[in-house]
Amino acid sequence: MKKNPHLIIGTLAIGTLALSSCGDTAEAGAAEEGFPSAPVEMVIPYPPGGGSDVLFRLMAEYAEEHLGENIVPINVEGASATVGSRQVKDSTADGYTILGTHQVTAAAFHTNIVDYGFDAFEPIALGTATPHLPSVSADFAQEHGIEDLQGFLDHVEANPGEVTWAFTTGSEDHYTVAAILDAAGIDPTSLNYVNYNGTGPQYAALIAGEVDGMTGDYASGEGYIEDGSLIPLGVVNEDRDPQLPDVPTVSEQGIDFTLTVDRGFLAPEGTPAEHIEVLQDAFEAAFAEEEFQERVEELGSYPNFMDSEDYQSHIDELDSSMEQLADQMQEF
């Protein structure tokens, strides 16, 4: 088993070349005997360094051992993760180009960023679940005496429009912050929102003092939490995070809301079912490995494998949840 995640950071040009070579391998909709016979490109629609980038690369590292071909992660960022998702949607439906994604696919659709959602893809498998961590900078917390989520919400309610909050329009962190404020009875437009292309740039902005807070996760924010520059306000999950045992859940603080970032894989609509099954089986075998599970848990996430059929039911539920807050999400 390889110990180091891929360090390949692709470009749109590289992605185009990969698509061209794979397009010669199998006609769209036609199953290829012995699939895969070439590397599979995995598009990560975010810049390097965020939680999604870290976890998708880890999943690729382990799954390719069972697939028999390399899974090559390519970062195709931009437009609330839709540059990458559109590239996969429009690629040849042969299983050689897949998308690493989460709730952003539904959120981007319901906020009218794009005109397609989960139904433009074939589900392959769900891989991990990661609790969200709404957090503020240590400087902001110290200046305003913020110690937990309730203290933060009280401050926001008393000072509407003064707190700057980093987010990615149409992403799952967009949904999370709107849902938390809504559950607390606070107008979701009470924050001063600043849009960034993924969690990596959000962390950079928070550390630089450009914004007061953001919604991240332990996988991407571990270093900032450990050095004291980031203060988690609560864990958006039913249970506390074992990596952060002293941080209460948002439910413990009176907010009836839970959400995990559910990272999984999609293929273009029309990809042969036989190819979907091969990819699904490789991910299933990888995620069953004890070493993989330990590494995921070290990142504040947990393995949550679902096969293609169960994943389809799951994303249908996610889509419905996103739709319920779509109007409020479009207000900021």
List the chain pLDDT tens, one digit each, 332 residues: 443 434 333 433 334 434 444 444 334 568 999 999 999 999 999 888 878 899 999 999 999 999 999 999 999 998 889 999 999 999 999 999 999 999 889 888 988 899 999 999 999 999 999 999 999 999 999 999 999 999 999 999 999 999 999 998 877 787 788 889 999 999 999 999 999 988 889 999 999 999 999 999 887 898 999 999 999 999 999 999 888 999 999 999 999 988 888 999 999 999 999 999 999 999 999 999 999 999 999 888 999 999 999 999 999 988 887 787 666 556 55
Q: For residue 120, what is the domain's CATH number?
A: 3.40.190.150
Which is it for strands 164-167 and 213-217: parallel, antiparallel or unpaired?
Answer: parallel
Whether residue 303 sits in one domain with residue 292: yes
- On whether residue 237 sits in a domain, the answer given is no
Whether residue 224 sits in one domain with residue 142: yes
- On whether residue 255 sits in a domain, the answer given is no
- 121 phi and psi angles, rounded to 5 deg: -135, 165
The predicted structure's pLDDT at residue 161:
95
Whether residue 180 sits in one domain with residue 115: no
> Of 193, 216, 232, which one is at a domain's C-terminal end?
232
Whether residue 173 sits in one domain with residue 74: no
The predicted structure's pLDDT at residue 219:
79
Whether residue 69 sits in one domain with residue 167: no
Q: How many domains does the chain have?
A: 2
Residue with tokens 């939680």: 51
The predicted structure's pLDDT at residue 176:
87
Whether residue 207 sits in one domain with residue 106: no
Whether residue 179 sits in one domain with residue 224: yes
Could you list the residue range(s) of the whole structural domain that residue 156 is in? 131-232
Whether residue 120 sits in one domain with residue 169: no
Q: For residue 214, what is the domain's CATH number?
A: 3.40.190.10
Q: What angle do CA 258, 320, 269 make, to 5 degrees?
A: 115
CB 45 within 8 A of CB 105: no
- On whether residue 148 sits in a domain, the answer given is yes
- On whether residue 159 sits in a domain, the answer given is yes
Whether residue 204 sits in one domain with residue 284: no
- On whether residue 296 sits in a domain, the answer given is yes
The predicted structure's pLDDT at residue 82:
94
Give dist(CA 54, CA 277) in Å, integer. 25
Give dist(CA 144, CA 258) in Å, integer. 26
Token pair for 187: 């107008």
The predicted structure's pLDDT at residue 11:
37
> Of 192, 215, 232, which one is at a domain's C-terminal end?
232
> Of 184, 217, 232, which one is at a domain's C-terminal end?
232
CB 224 within 8 A of CB 139: no
The predicted structure's pLDDT at residue 15:
41
Whether residue 182 sits in one domain with residue 150: yes
- On whether residue 254 sits in a domain, the answer given is no
Residues 224-255 as b/e (b if ≥16 CB within 10 A, e otherwise) read bbeeebbbbbbbbbeebbebbeebbbbbebeb
Whether residue 140 sits in one domain with residue 114: no
- On whether residue 315 sits in a domain, the answer given is yes
Whether residue 222 sits in one domain with residue 79: no
CB 47 within 8 A of CB 75: yes
Sign of the CA dihedral with 286 first, then 289, 293, and 298 last: negative
- On whether residue 212 sits in a domain, the answer given is yes
